[in-house]
Amino acid sequence: MFFQHVYDKSLAQASYFIGCQAKNEAIVIDAQRDIDVYLHIAKQNNMKITHVTETHIHADFLSGSRELIAATGAELYLSAEGGPEWQYEFVHQGLRHGDTIRVGNLSLEVLHTPGHTPESISFLLTDHPATESPVMVFTGDFVFVGDVGRPDLLEKAAGLVGTQEKGARQLYQSIKRFAQLPEYVQIWPGHGAGSACGKALGAVPSTTIGYEKIRNWAFQYPQDEKGFIANLLDGQPEPPTYFAMMKHLNKVDRPLLVEVPQYPKLTRDQFLEAYSKGLTVIDTRNKVDFAKGFIPNSLNIQGNNSFATWCGWLLDYQQQFILVAEDHKMEDLTRKLMRIGLDNMYGYISSVNDLDIDLEQETIIDMEEFKSYIGDPNVQIVDVRGASEYLEYHVEGAEHIFVGTLTKNLDKFNKDKQIVIHCQSGDRSTIAQSLLAKHGFKDVKNYSAGMKEWRLHF
């Protein structure tokens, strides 16, 4: 058996390439949209991708399954569980609990594991030349290392009222059944630490059923469904707004993108014309460089591992946008954007200088200045971190306005006071500062070192 774990750090998303070396056939599970990685693996190992499948209708990334079958001619196998509202709306072969996919001398048994979503399935893998016992299970967003999939996304992100309680009950039953599998079976989940699909995901890529029965909190409620549900729903992170769009696009027929697109580098005149028409400008530079001088109304979303997530939070899928990015970083940024379906880029520029635009600056303050504002009635201190972070610890008197929902809460900012913002280490507060500047709050001070520095001293 050939096995390769493919991991996208930007979305903490895992996919899997599994092959039968005797027959040179392979299956890909939960493919990312830039599919060249799988084509390269297949070529390097003299294999043909014959099967493509998914564990569920994904919310956090745009699946590349259909791009992959378009490029390879493979068969597409998708869940037929969950009822009529949870069926994929394009050609595929449906899978139900107990079905088996054969890939050469390998078999993958389908397990219906609802809870995170109604149609969720897992795949129990047996390598028949080696053993007739299962060796791996691919769980998608059902069971993670140290955590389980959250059932509240459909309600919070997609607006399906009443689904989180039902999903939590389904998840509880799925876990009880799952715990009956052999303890030696390896678990390979769909996400790792940093994903918004859970609240306590572990950083290691895999685990075993036996280990999770001991260490995973969700397996510690064998006779307490109410306690399990209460713990499961408590403290879940805010789901990015783009999750609803991903749910839709992963279910319906849509245009395919089988190659990584290349966007034009704009001339000064091209940029100024587009800028004058109101196109959103996303500045991907480091927050320090951005603070020294940025294009008015531009947003600072740094081109790090969180880039795609925050673009998904803040960009309108129906509107074009422009990036500020160095030439050599464009391919990486383009891949990150296409993985969540943000294909509507007009172009990019590599420098903010020589545009004949008066640049604005961000005011960064140090810890001592920040300390002097605490308790001042003329100052509004705003913590833009997530709700669970704020509840765990916050500076006395600080108000909480999460950066992801900031534009919906502009009325909570007091223009008659000096506004001071912070987050954990500056990445989110620079987004918040640029959002506020775009909406007319020009004199905002940013304690960029944030709670990461503060808690070392207090």
**Same domain for 85 and 187:** yes
Interval 260-270 mean pLDDT: 97
pLDDT tens figures, 238-247: 889 999 999 9
Question: Last residue of a domain, which of 202, 224, 251?
Answer: 251
> Which pLDDT band, with edges at 50, 70 and 90, does 45 fall under?
very high
Asked if the structure places residue 240 within a domain, the reply is: yes
Residue with tokens 């075993």: 208
**Same domain for 281 and 224:** no
CA distance 131 to 134: 8
Residue-level pLDDT at 195? 82
**Same domain for 229 and 113:** yes
Asked if the structure places residue 263 within a domain, the reply is: no
Residue-level pLDDT at 200? 77
Partners of 49 in the β-ladder: 26
**Same domain for 129 and 246:** yes
pLDDT tens figures, 77-89: 999 999 999 999 9
**Same domain for 374 and 345:** no
**Same domain for 298 and 390:** no
**Same domain for 127 and 96:** yes
Asked if the structure places residue 358 within a domain, the reply is: no
Name the pTM for this structure: 0.95
Could you tell me the CA-to-CA distances from 458 to 123, 132, 159, 393, 443 in Å, in that order?
A: 48, 58, 40, 11, 27
Here the CATH number for the domain that contains residue 318 is 3.40.250.10
Asked if the structure places residue 354 within a domain, the reply is: no
**Same domain for 430 and 285:** no
> Which pLDDT band, with edges at 50, 70 and 90, does 156 fall under?
confident
Asked if the structure places residue 257 within a domain, the reply is: no
Asked if the structure places residue 258 within a domain, the reply is: no
Question: Last residue of a domain, which of 318, 349, 380?
Answer: 349
Question: Last residue of a domain, which of 186, 219, 251?
Answer: 251
Confidence check: pLDDT of 202 > 90: no
Interval 54-68 mean pLDDT: 97
Q: 236 or 293: whose pLDDT is higher?
A: 293
Interval 51-63 mean pLDDT: 97
**Same domain for 294 and 177:** no
Q: By mean pLDDT, which of 150-154, 294-298, 358-362, 377-381 is the weakest?
A: 150-154
CB 151 within 8 A of CB 116: yes
**Same domain for 433 and 295:** no
Here the CATH number for the domain that contains residue 177 is 3.60.15.10
Interval 349-377 mean pLDDT: 96
Asked if the structure places residue 340 within a domain, the reply is: yes
Looking at every residue in the chain, the average pLDDT score rounds to 96
Residue-level pLDDT at 237? 86
pLDDT tens figures, 127-136: 999 999 999 9
Residue-level pLDDT at 163? 84
**Same domain for 410 and 311:** no
> Which pLDDT band, with edges at 50, 70 and 90, does 215 fall under?
very high
Asked if the structure places residue 65 within a domain, the reply is: yes
**Same domain for 205 and 319:** no
| Domain of residue 114, residue span | 2-251
Q: How many domains does the chain have?
A: 3
Residue with tokens 């500062």: 433
Residue-level pLDDT at 231? 95
